[in-house]
Amino acid sequence: MQNPISLTKKWIAEFVIFHSLCPFAKIPFEKDNILYKEIENPDIQMVLSCLHETVVTLDPYSNAFLILPPSSFDEYLDIFYKAELYLEETELNTDFQLASFHPEYQFEGYDIADKRNWTNRSPFPMLHILRVKEMEDAIESFGDTSKVFIENEKKMRLL
């Protein structure tokens, strides 16, 4: 059986990049410029400690995935919101932002079976740490990103 980091890399390559779900994923992935950390203990203090350690030592990587142990989507959302709050309270949110991925991801207001949820479904619960400046630069060079979600919705409905 593959380990969580290997499975995450496979998911990025064979799902996210293959289906062009994120226009910014391919370059850092192919350059091996993503840091992956597996967190075996879902204790919130452990997660926040790992989040802090990761953001302060992220160089030279452009972004990171914190791979969490299996949990319900509600348990994961609690961790995700506390992680976002931590970035805000420490003012690290001016430099970093989080993206959310979970095997049972469900957008608010959508049915669990709605295929658009697959854009944020992953093999494991994950916190994706992104640099705000790199995202701003990528968006500026890409252009209007508001259409990405609409295009992804169409792709998921075709799968």
Query: In this predicted model, what pLDDT tens digit does every residue of 2-12 receive, in sequence order?
Result: 799 999 999 99
pLDDT confidence tier of residue 23, bands split at 50, 70 and 90? confident
Residue ranges per domain, the chain? 4-150
Residue type, 102: H
User: What angle (nearest 5°) sits at the alpha carbon of residue 45, between those of residues 43 and 48?
Assistant: 110
Query: What number of residues does the chain have?
Result: 159
Mean pLDDT along residues 14-20: 95
Q: What are phi and psi of 97, to 5 degrees?
A: -135, 160
Residue type, 79: I
Percent of the chain past pLDDT 90, that is, above it, reads: 77
Query: In this predicted model, what pLDDT tens digit does every residue of 99-155 receive, in sequence order?
Result: 999 999 999 999 999 999 999 999 999 999 999 998 888 778 777 777 888 888 888
Is a pLDDT exceeding 70 seen at residue 64?
A: yes
Residue type, 84: E
pLDDT at 1: 60
